Structure 1
């Protein structure tokens, strides 16, 4: 099962306050542990929302655009990680090891399971192309 760990933004992350060396080392250590265990699929830190744009879509008309910065609320993300885990409990165990930066307000991590890859839309054209190419290879 794949999970996304959504690390919520704080006032410090939105202000671009750099993390302490201790926090950076702790973060690097957990990412290295995840990579060594083969569970880490992706990890990225996001820029503050001051450079972001929100788009609001409605059934009628063009999307409404709003430029950042946005208030540091439960909607904003500071970073994300994607992990592969055997169970929800294992994913929670990895999430618990994410270090909280010192000197800032409380950090929150939201854990969400990703849809199975097989549940995604199929690309019939690509599948037909591959089948044709395999057929040509088998004739040689």
Structure 2
């Protein structure tokens, strides 16, 4: 099963978006461990909404684009990983271990909808 693990930051907290060298070292070790375990399929950090973000809303076939920063949003997705794991419990375990890298963070773990699930 594939799961997406996402973490959120306060979009207005500039310090949260600037990782320290010590944090990057811990993150590198975590990524190496997940790679060795064979569970990490993809993972990336995202930039704050002030750096090139946009939302697209479609209503009645008409698209509206709003450029960042998103003043109305306090917390935004700051990064993600896609994991190939046995079950939800393993995904939550990896998500918990990932969350332990931070002093303060919210982690969301969601199962990826496979095409076969939608048929």
Instruction: Determine the structure 1 residue equivalent to 2:83.
Output: 83
Pair 1:32 & 2:69 matched = no
For structure 1, the residue ranges without an aligned partner over 5 or more in a row are 122-140
Deviations 1:19-46 (A, max 9, x none): 1111111111111110000000000111
Instruction: Determine the structure 2 residue equivalent to 1:128.
Output: none
Which of these two proteins has the greater Rg computed from alpha carbons?
A: 1
Pair 1:118 & 2:116 matched = yes
For structure 2, the residue ranges without an aligned partner over 5 or more in a row are none
SS at match of 2:92: helix
**Is the Cα–Cα contact under 8 Å of residues 49 and 69 in structure 2 kept in the other structure?**
yes
Normalised TM-score (structure 1): 0.72
Q: CA RMSD, aligned part only?
A: 2.1
**Is the Cα–Cα contact under 8 Å of residues 17 and 47 in structure 2 kept in the other structure?**
no
List, as ranges, runs of 4+ consecutive aligned residues in structure 1 with deviation greater than 6 Å: none
Normalised TM-score (structure 2): 0.84
Pair 1:56 & 2:57 matched = yes
Instruction: Determine the structure 2 residue equivalent to 1:108.
Output: 106
Count of residues paired in the alignment: 114
